[in-house]
Structures are given as structure tokens and as C-alpha cells.
Structure 1
Amino acid sequence: MGGLREMAAPFVVLGPSGVAVRDRLKHLTAEDEHVLRLVGDHLGTLASRDLKSRCAAGLEHDSEQWAERKRVLTQESSSRWAGSLTKATHDQWALARRGQLAHIQSLEAGMRMIAHRLSLPVGHKGTKRAPGGYRSRREWHAKTRRLHVLADRLKAARADRDAGRVRVVRGGKRLLNTRHHLQAVQLTEEQWRTRWEAGRRILQADGESGKRFGNETIRVTPGGEVSLKLPAPLAHLANAPHGRYVLTARVSFGHRGEQWADRVTANRAVAYRIQEDTARARWYLTASWTIPPVKTVPLAAARAHGLVGVDTNADHLAAWRLDAHGNPVGEPLRFGYDLTGTAAHRDAQVRHALIRLLHWAKRHGLAIAIEDLDFTAEKTREKHGRRKKFRNLISGMPVARLRARLVSMAAELGITIVAVDPAYTSKWGAQHWRKPLTSTTRKTTRHDTAAVAIGRRALGYAIRRRTAPPPQHRSDAVGHRTVQARPDTPRREGNRPRIPGPRTRSVHAGRGANAVDQDAQHRSGHPAEHKSWKQDSLPLSL
């Protein structure tokens, strides 16, 4: 047990801190779309200039420089548009910094793994916990060269981080590289250019409490009328007073529509974002606002009536209900999803599987236990080597998205989520629970037993189950129910200590006529008898 890592305690997951809803802008006229594109392109150009200034400032950026950036943008837009642009730029720079740190940590992990494997003899076999040496001298030599390559990359990345330099592509690096592989993605240059321009547009504005309908820049009335404040150079396009442009489309949020209406009626802050889906030739409006954190229930209350252990896999969620004592109840459940196809299809599959799981847990009034998974350090090819299938498997698991969606959707239904440490759940679950839960009519899988292990850990119990009684008649024929004291153990025949709680189905602990008299029990080797006793006469030989 000395090689096992220390496991974190289970905890109740906090609810979401924000809300976002989306609706389609239907029946837009050609003029509406033209104005939206002009405003978005103009603001996108300003955002690119501001991002360049922010990246040039690096770590020396302060509030004075932020204010100066906003003053420059205000001259070509408005004070509220400038505030939204500078905030979006700073968030993008901060995201790039976090990605830079993650890249450095990935390089360090890869170098440690290569150095470890290079230190082992060629052909040395590894274990389940640590890989062995490389298979051949050729591979050993290639990895030696790769170690130097990673060292150079790490040196450059650290230098950039120390200097505060980041590399950001507005519109996305993936879409930029797609320009060189148009035939592979079956796109024409015009189609790619349309997506590229749409990805670089900015039509978003933060809300402000106390202002009319919670947002002066992009305003949506309770009736669904959408209007936006035009930047100064485009004020001649206004079709409403005070330099505003009113769209012909009307929005009505089907999801959380009442909450949104309450906020805009009370003039509470709501942020809006307008974006174009070039593949479908549609426009969408997204509304978002912050909500107070949901008060979580104590862990003891979540465990009171048992819970549902859920194991996350590449194509399904394996679940099993456990009672408050950690015993599996009923049959295992499986909620499948298909992660092939487009991102929208994968996202819909995950949401469909989660809502089925949540509705089942809601009907039974149970909390949900799930692993606190993070494969950030597990996806490197340096750790798994040629196991490309396994690397693709863990890379394809929607861990982060599934966890975020589960927490958000569970908060709406009032279901508690308990996160547990994922260490050894699959291994120990199969070791201790697969055989006893398998019968002639039910074949228990490794994923089902992992769900049981997750649930038991969330309930505070050890994963290992108690030893079953002897198989014949649960007596002394083939051994005792539990390990008995050895003959040389001191006071092995003494009185039993008073243990609270029931010990049998009929007599409670510490009760009964012979509760503390070991000799009065009906056991082999003891003088207790349950019939009249009479001494035999002396033998005739005496």
C-alpha cells in the first residue's frame, strides 16, 4: 500500500455562477444583415488594434494604460463599446497566458517521462504504474533527440512567459491553418473567407444595472425588440433616434425566458452577443447574466438516502444506485452517447445522456456521485508511447464539457453532485465487486463495478466489500464468518465489549440472557449443552 497516492476527500460540487440563453434572430432583412456585418467588422478592427496594444504592454500593463486604450477606442466607437472591447481583449490575453502555462507544464511532464525511460536499460519491461525502457537502440536514440527538441521549446516558452509575450490569433488558429488545406475540408476560398470574417467580428456588450433594460449598447425590450447603439463612424445608418438601429427580428427566449424578462423589466444587467452562423446562414442572439451561487447541501445530507454512482466512459455513462449503507440496489444503468460527427452533434448527445440520468435520479430523489476527472497530464504521447488507441480514447472523452453541463443541469433540477477522487475506482471496483455482482442472468462489466466503487467512495465507505459468510450453511463447517482470535491470544474467551447497534436480525447488541457469557453459546469446543446431562457409570474393568 505504500505506492498508493493519497486520495482527496469527497466534496459537494458548487453550482453554476452564470446563465446563458440563446435565440435565433428570424426574419432579418438584407439591410439588417448588412448593418450587422458593418458594425461587427468595424468593432473587430478596433479589437485587433487593441489586442496588439495589450500584447505589447505585456506584464507592465496597468490601469493607466487600460484607461488610455479605452480613450483611443472611444473616439471611433462609444464609451460603452470601448469598455466591452477592452474587457474582451484583456480576457483573451489572460486566456492565452493560461494556455501558455499549460503548454509549459505539458513540456515539463514530457521531458520527465523521456528522461525516466532513457535512464532504464533498453528493453526493460515496465509495470502498470510506470512505463519501462525503450524497445530498441533506434527508438532510444530518437527519444534522446526529442528530449533536446522539447528542451529548446521549453526554454523558448519560459522566455516568452517571463517577458509577458503571448501569441493570439483572432478568429482561431485552427481556422487560420484551414486556409492551407481547403481541399481536405471541402471548402472553397470564398467559403473559408466568409467563416474567417465572421469569426473576427465582434458584436458583444456587457450589461449595466440601473440602465434601461439592463444594457444601453445592445438593448432588448421585454417585448423582444432588438436595437444597438451604432459606433460614431456608422451613425448615419441609424433608423431610430439617438443613433440607434432597430432590427426587424423579434426574440423570445424559450429557456429561462421568465428569468430574463424579470431582469430586463427591473433594469438589471444583461450581457448580449450577436453572432452569425455562416454554415446555416443564420444569426443568433445570446443573453447572459450572473446568478448568486446556489447554496449546496451538506455532504451528510446528500448521503442520507443513498446516491447514484456514475462512471464516465468514451461512449456511455455507467450508473448504479447504492443505498445509504453502500450496497448496490437494483440493476445497473447505462446512458449511451455517440461522439462522432460535428461538434453540435456531440454536444447534443452529451446533453441527451445527461438529462436522462438526471430525470432518473430526480424520480428517486437521489444525489449523483461522479469522478473529478482531469486528463490534462494523461494525454501526452511521451507517457503512453505507441498506445495511440488509448490516447485517442482519453482525448475523446468529453470530461470538462460533461462535468460543466452536469453541474449546470443538476442545479436546475435541485440535484446534488458529489465529486470523488478517481484513483483506482475501475481497478478496485472490478477486483472486489465484479464477481459477487455477476449472476447467470446478469453480466457485470468493469464500468458497472467502477460506478459502485465511485458511489461507495462518495458515501464514505471503503471500496472493498466485507467477506461473505461460508457457502454451505453459514456456520463453522468451513470456517467462521470473520477472522477469529488465535488460540494464544490473551483473553480470547473474555466477555464481549458492548458494541452499539444491531448485530443480528433478532437480538440487538448487548442484549439477551447470555450476551456476555461466551461459555453459554452453542459453539464447538465449549461446555454448553442444550439437553440434560448425566455422568456415565464407571467401566466394568475398574
Structure 2
Amino acid sequence: MDKGLRKLAAPFVVPGPSGVAIRTRLKQLTARDEEVLRRVGAHLGALACRDLKTRCHDGPGHDAQAWAARKRELTPLSSARWAGAITRATHDQWALARRSALARLQNLEAGVRTLRHRLALPLGTKGSKRAPGGYHSRREWHAKARRLHVLEDRLTRERADWTAGRVRVVRGGKRLARTRHQLPAARLTETQWRARWEAQRWFLRADGESGKRYGNETIRISPDGEVSIRLPAPLSGLANAPHGRYVLTSRIHFTHQGQEWADRVAANRAVAYRIHHDVDRARWYVTASWQAPASPAVPLAAALAHGVIGVDTNADHLAAWHLDTHGNPTGSPRRFCYDLSGTAGHRDAQLRHALTRLLHWARTCGVRAIAVEDLDFNTEKTREKHGRNRRFRRLISGIPTGRFRARLVSMADRTGITIVAVDPAYTSRWGAQHWQKPLTSKNRRTTRHDAASIAIGRRAQGYPLRRRTAPPRTHQSDGCGHRTVQAGPDAPGREGPRRCLPGPRTRSVPPDAERTRATRTPNTVRDVRSEREWVQDSLLLTD
């Protein structure tokens, strides 16, 4: 055990999801339906852009009165509910940009501190666990000195923007905006890019309202799947239903959690809707979302009453092992692989498939808890901290910590499995030290990740990561107490006195030796004369 180890945080039960979102496709839309959706989305999107510009101009000095003034300006051009949805979405977008600016500012400050520390050390100074060492060569030192000046200049600008309250927001996405200047590399034409850009900047989102008909007055979806939209005031001439509404030809049906949605709609409870267009597939989708009631907190002891499955998260697979109530690994380790290359949809599908197999296996084992590491690599993947170790930076950047945690919590909540988060410190190191070699045999190769999953599960159960405590110093028997930490004195099947066997206690003479010798068939050929009793012949007396 090394000295100076940091204090470990206690394991805790991860709370369940706070909301539900389901999606389905709008099929069999007519040309008029698509035209109405495009015009409504483009009109409300222009209002959202104008409102976002006003909100960014106000900065941190924005208050409730300014919010009300923005809503009053938008109401004649749309409606009161559309204006409320636009202003709330603008406020959330500005708050997200503000948090991102703070995270970027903190990242730059950490990078500047690291560079200053390493530049102040002599060349070739070895680092420690707490701080990195000096640079290897004069050339590398010079390059990092130039990078320090670049980061200091960026830090100065970010601090000025943070003090002034300026944020940088792009409606439609910064990545898509930059793709406009790299169309050949993205294999897009200008027309294709323009279609994507306009679709991303449309606004077809309505907040729910309890007590109103079907839980939403702006985008209303009945239990039988009829979709109707309240048109903005300038577009009221496109209505085909009373009260300035337009009813789509398409009828929808939610497959996933459709019954729960139907119950909320029938009870006139709030449901928020968002209509969006997938340009690549030429399809329209509608997403319904609502707030889920807080799940009752499950005590940690109750969650671990039937054992636990420890999961070690890696860049390309999940290593899992089933542990019983005493912290002993049972069965064989399992590995759930996924490929996080390709598009975002492909990565998300791969992760969901791996988690589905993990949850099915957990139900097969009969456990009610899955232990995972509380990982956060926001401060671990900077080039200033790890320097030239690009392979390690790519490795930790590829681990889907945030998406994995969100997906696992939401999917486990539907199956009744509790997620327990543990401190990730030293799990891989101590797991390999205490568990990898004992569990490796000629028929099973235990990896470092499999051993780490055992360490994670044992930490969730509150057991030490070591396999056993040291034997008693007085003698090698159990005279000083129970020698293992896996089971208690009252647990069935624990180590106890040996079974009483009849017969003598000597090692040379086994029990019932005479009977065994009499009934045993000899395996070797012996001299038959040795089996007969030898008798001394009488002496012949001759002259």
C-alpha cells in the first residue's frame, strides 16, 4: 500500500431519471402538410433568432421585467403560448452557453497553471503522482513556452467575455456553420447544406400545460393520434380547422411507453412536443416529453441484498462480473462490446445494445443492483497534463462516461434495477493486484478490466478490495478468529471445522485399511512367492 492515497468517497445510489422522452414518425404527410410545417417552422425560427439576439445583448443584467417585455413583443407575431415557448427556449440556450463558457475558462486556467509549472522545472525532471515533471528536451520546452503565450491570450479574452456577460451561440449548431466552408470535405453541395441549415434553425416546439385539453394547447395530439397545430397569427389563413388550427393528415402512434403517454393525454396532464425534420431521410418526427415523478430512493443495503454486478467502463467494451452477497465473484466474467466509431446515431445504438444485454444478464442472475464508477474525464484529457501521450488522451476521450451514465440510469429504471456509483480511485490497480492472478487458469484468462469489475462491485458492497486478510500471527489455524472477510460467522457454507471421518488419524494408515487391501485388485505384477507364507523346512541329517 502506497502512502498518500486520497480519501475515497462512499458509494451512493444514483437517482432515477427526471423526465421521459419518446419519439415516433409522422407518416403519410401530404404536400400541403409539409408546406405548412415548413412555413410555421421558418416563421417561428426567425422569431427565435431575434429573441436570442435580444437576450444575449442584455447579458447578466437580464431580469423578469425584461423577460416579460420580450414575450410581449413576440405575442402579436405568433401567440401567447408560442411566445412563452420561444422565450423559455432562449433562456435555456443562453444559460447553457454561459455554463459552457465557464467550463472553457476553467479549462484554460488549468492548462496555464500546468504549463507554468512544467516550464519552471529543469529539463528531464521526473514527475510524481500529484504533478507532472519537466519537459524532455529544449525543443519541447520552447514549443510549450509558445503555447503558454497562446493560452494566456485566449484566457484574457475569455475572462473579458465572462466579465461582460458575452456568450457565443449559433442557432443551428457551430459545427454545421463551419461545414459551410468545407463542403467538399463533407461531401455536400450548397443546396444540401442549406436544407440542413434551415431545418436546424426552425422552431416547432411547444411546452405542455396541465388542465388544458390533451395536455397541450399549441401542439395538440389526441389519444387516437390526431395532430393539430395552433398557427401563428400571420399564418392563420392556412388553417383548415376552427380557431386557427391546422390538422395534419397523418395519424401517429407511440410504440415505446405509448400506454403511459395515452394515460397522461387522457387525464389532460402536461406533455411537451417537438416536431423536427430529418433532411437526409426526408422524414418528419414528433417527440413527446414530460416530467417523471421522482422514484422512491432505494436504500443501499436493500439494493445489494441479492448481490451486485460490477461493471468496468472502457473505450470499446463493458467488463462485468457477478458478485454474491459476500463479495465473491461467481461464474465467469462477461464482456459487452460496442463500436463507437461512425455517426452519432450509430454510436448511440451501439451503446444502447450493450446496455440492453447487460440489463438482461443482470435479471438472469437475479441481482437488483449494478455498480459503476463515478467517472469524470473533463480534467483528465488535456494535452497540457498528459503531454505527448496522445494514445492515452484518445483512449480516455473515447470512453462514453456521460452518455453511458444517462442511458444506463434511464434504462435500468424501467427494469427495476438500482445503479450504485462508487469512487473510481485505484480500482484497476488494486483489482489487478489482488484478483487477476488468482482467477486466471488454463481455461480462463482474466483481464485487468475483469479484475477491476470485481473491485468496483466489492467497493459498492463496502468490502475491502483485498481477497483475504492476513493470517493470524500466532498460528495458521482459526484460533484468532475468522480469517476471511468474504463471509460472516453465521453465513451458511462458510469455513468451519472439518467433517468427521471414521478411522485412525495417522497419515500412513487410512480408515478401513484391511478391508480396502482385501478387496483391492493389484495393479502391478508381483512375485507369487511373496504372497505365500514362508515356512522353514526341516534339516536333513545325513552322514
> In the aligned structure 2, how far is the partner of 1:155 from the partner of 1:15?
40
> Which position in structure 1 is the counterpart of 2:209?
208
AA aligned to 2:235 is: L
SS of equivalent residue, structure 2 residue 112:
helix
What are the superposed Cα offsets for residues 63-102 of structure 1, whole Å, 9 maximum, x if unpaired?
Answer: 0000000000001000000000000000000000110011
Equivalent position of 1:457 in the other structure: 459
Secondary structure in structure 2 of the residue aligned to 1:330: strand
Q: 2:489 aligns with which of 486, 496, 501?
A: 501
| Distance (Å, rounded) in 2 between the aligned partners of 1:505 and 1:419 | 31
**CA distance in 2 between partners of 1:401 and 1:498 (Å):** 44
- CA deviations over 1:476-520 (Å, ceiling 9, x no partner): xxxxx714159xxxxxxxx96999936974459xxxxxxxxxxxx
**Is the partner of 2:183 in helix, strand or coil?**
coil
Task: Provide Cα deviations, 1:460-486, integer angstroms capped at 9, x if missing partner.
Answer: 01112215xxxxxxxxxxxxx714159
Alignment equivalent of 1:484, drawn from 465, 473, 479: 473
User: Could you tell me which amino acid in structure 1 is paired with residue 471 of structure 2?
Assistant: T
How far apart are the structure 2 equivalents of 1:186 and 1:498? Answer: 69
Secondary structure of 1:283 counterpart: strand
Contact kept in structure 2, 1:340 and 1:346, CA below 8 Å: yes
User: In the alignment, what sits opposite 1:133?
Assistant: 134
Q: 2:377 aligns with which of 375, 378, 396?
A: 375
The answer to whether the 8 A contact 1:373-1:422 is kept is yes
Trace 1:261-340 onto structure 2 (pairs within 5 A): 261-340=262-341
Residues 326, 505 of structure 1: alpha-carbon distance in 2 compared, 3 angstrom cutoff = closer
Structure 2 partner of 1:440: 442
Cα distance in 2 for residues equivalent to 1:199 and 1:330: 50
1:111 Cα deviation from its structure 2 partner: 1.2
Q: CA deviation at 1:340?
A: 1.3
- Does the CA contact (< 8 Å) of 1:237 and 1:245 recur in 2? yes
Partner of 1:80: 81
Q: CA deviation at 1:304?
A: 1.6
CA-CA distance at 1:427 after TM superposition: 1.0
Residue 260 in structure 1 maps to residue 261 in structure 2: yes
Give 1:128 deviation, angstroms: 5.7
- Matched residues, percent identical? 69
* Aligned position for 2:48: 47
Could you tell me how far apart the structure 2 residues matched to 1:341 and 1:260 are?
33
Helix, strand or coil at the partner of 1:27: coil
Give the whole-Å Cα distance in 2 for the aligned partners of 1:277 and 1:135: 51
Distance 1:327 1:345 in 2: 36
Task: Please give the alpha-carbon distance, in whole angstroms, between the structure 2 residues aligned to 1:37 and 1:67.
Answer: 28
Where does 1:17-166 land on structure 2 (aligned, <5 Å)?
A: 17-127=18-128, 130-166=131-167
Q: d(CA) in 2 for partners of 1:258 and 1:272? A: 17
1:247-281 deviation digits (Å, cap 9, x = unpaired): 11111000010000001101000000000000100
What's 1:198 paired with?
199
| CA distance, structure 1, for counterparts of residue 258 and residue 482 of structure 2 | 61
**Paired amino acid for 1:460:** G
Structure 1 residues 339-396: Cα deviation after superposition (integer angstroms, max 9, x where no partner): 1111111100000000110011112221100001111001111111112222112112
2: CA distance between counterparts of 1:104 and 1:388? 23
Equivalent residue number for residue 412 of structure 1: 414
Match of 1:228 in 2: 229
Measure, in 2, the Cα distance between the counterparts of 1:2 and 1:268: 57
Give the partner amino acid of 1:119: A
Q: Distance in 2 between matches of 1:506 and 1:216?
A: 71
Q: Distance in 1 between matches of 2:257 and 2:145?
A: 57
| 2:160 partner letter | A
Q: Could you say which residue in structure 1 is the equivalent of 2:509? A: none
1:393 aligns with 2:395: yes
Give the superposition deviation at 1:62. Answer: 0.6
What residue in structure 2 maps to residue 514 of structure 1? none
Cross-structure match for 1:429: 431
Deviates more, 1:379-388 or 1:407-416: 379-388
Report if aligned partners of 2:472, 2:480 keep a CA contact under 8 Å in 1.
Answer: no
Unaligned runs of 5+ in 2: 499-504, 506-543
Equivalent residue number for residue 527 of structure 1:
none
Worse overlay, 334-343 or 72-81: 334-343
Q: Are the counterparts in 1 of residues 312 and 318 from structure 2 also a CA contact under 8 Å? A: yes
Call closer, same or farther: CA 1:496–1:357 in 2, change over 3 Å.
closer
Query: How far apart, CA to CA, are the structure 1 residues paired with 2:7 and 2:116?
Result: 25
Contact in 1 for aligned 2:227/2:248 (Cα 8 Å): yes
- Residue equivalent to 1:512: none
Q: Aligned pairs, how many?
A: 488
Measured in 2, the distance between the counterparts of 1:318 and 1:238 equals: 56
Task: Tell me how far apart the structure 2 counterparts of residues 190 and 4 of structure 1 sit (CA, whole Å).
Answer: 58
**Compared with structure 1, are the counterparts of its residues 31 and 143 closer, same or farther at alpha carbon in structure 2 (3 Å cutoff)?**
same
Query: 2 CA distance for matches of 1:433 and 1:208?
Result: 55
- Secondary structure of the structure 2 residue equivalent to 1:113: helix
Q: Rate the CA distance shift 1:128–1:443 in 2: closer, same or farther, 3 A.
A: farther
| Local SS of the residue matching 2:93 | helix
Distance 2:208 2:228 in 1: 14
Flag structure 1 segments of 5+ consecutive residues without an equivalent: 468-480, 487-494, 509-521, 523-542
Residue 468 (structure 2) aligns with: 466
Q: Classify the secondary structure of the residue corresponding to 1:121.
A: coil
C-alpha distance after superposition, 1:384-434 (max 9, x if no partner): 111222211211221111110100000000001000011111111111111
Question: Could you tell me whether the CA contact under 8 Å between 2:482 and 2:489 is conserved in 1?
Answer: no
Within 2, Cα distance between the matches of 1:381 and 1:354?
A: 31
> Which residue identity is paired with 2:141?
W
Show the counterpart of 2:523.
none
For the residues of structure 2 that align with 1:177 and 1:497, how far apart are their CA atoms? 69
Residue of structure 1 in register with 2:510 after alignment: none
**Following superposition of structure 1 onto structure 2, how do residues 333-352 of structure 1 map, counting pairs within 5 Å?**
333-352=334-353
**Aligned match of 1:356:** 357
Between 1:396-405 and 1:409-418, the stretch displaced more is: 396-405
Moved more, 8-17 or 360-369: 360-369
Larger radius of gyration: 2
Aligned residue number for residue 473 of structure 1: none
Change over 3 Å in CA distance of 1:506–1:148 after alignment to 2: closer
TM-fit CA distance, 1:148 = 2.1
Deviation per CA, 1:38-76: give whole Å up to 9, x if none: 100100100011001111111111100000000000010
- Residue 183 of structure 2 aligns with an amino acid whose one-letter code is L
Shift of 1:158: 1.6
Equivalent residues of 1:296, 1:416 under 8 A apart? no
2:75 maps to a residue whose letter is: T
Aligned to 1:529: none
